[in-house]
Amino acid sequence: MKEATSCGGVVIYRGKILLLYRSYKNKYDGWMLPKGTVEAGEEFKHTALREVLEESGAKASIIKYVGKSQYTFIADDQSILKNVHWFLMSTDSYNTKPQREEYFVDSGFYKYHEAYHLLKYANEKQIVERAYYEYLELRKMNLWDNKKYF
């Protein structure tokens, strides 16, 4: 089995979570979080920021690391174990522009319960749940909006 590593972000703006909708050849692929492959020599946090910007157009800032998810898939008749490292992020704008080259046709910010139910993959739902809990804790301590935490 081959291993691959990606990084991504749970980006929050005014309490809403950034999602991307991917559709390939008119097939329903679904809503997902921005993430992508680590390039040679790249730190995980830089990969996550780069991929969020490339896939959604959102300029985000990392707040904290929230965990890793794993899944397997088949590509070119080979089994791949994918490790994805996730970061809680903030941004200062609702403006997004889905990356058409990666078949993203829509993007937007959604309330937690909407985002949770829209997400296609169970592992991304778990990460959103964890990241949103962290976001709520930071808000409770008055560390989110005034950016003291950054």
Q: Is the pLDDT of residue 95 over 80?
A: yes
Q: HEC states along 118-141? A: HECCHHHHHHHHHHHHHHHHHHHC
Q: Read off the CATH number of the domain in which 80 is found.
A: 3.90.79.10
Report the number of distinct structural domains present in the chain. 1
Residue 148 belongs to some domain of the structure: no
Nearest to 123, CA basis, from 48, 71, 87? 71
| Residue 48, domain extent | 2-140
Q: What is the pLDDT of residues 32-81, one digit of tens each?
A: 999 999 999 999 999 999 999 999 999 999 999 999 999 998 888 999 99
Give the confidence band of 143 by pLDDT, cuts at 50, 70, 90.
confident
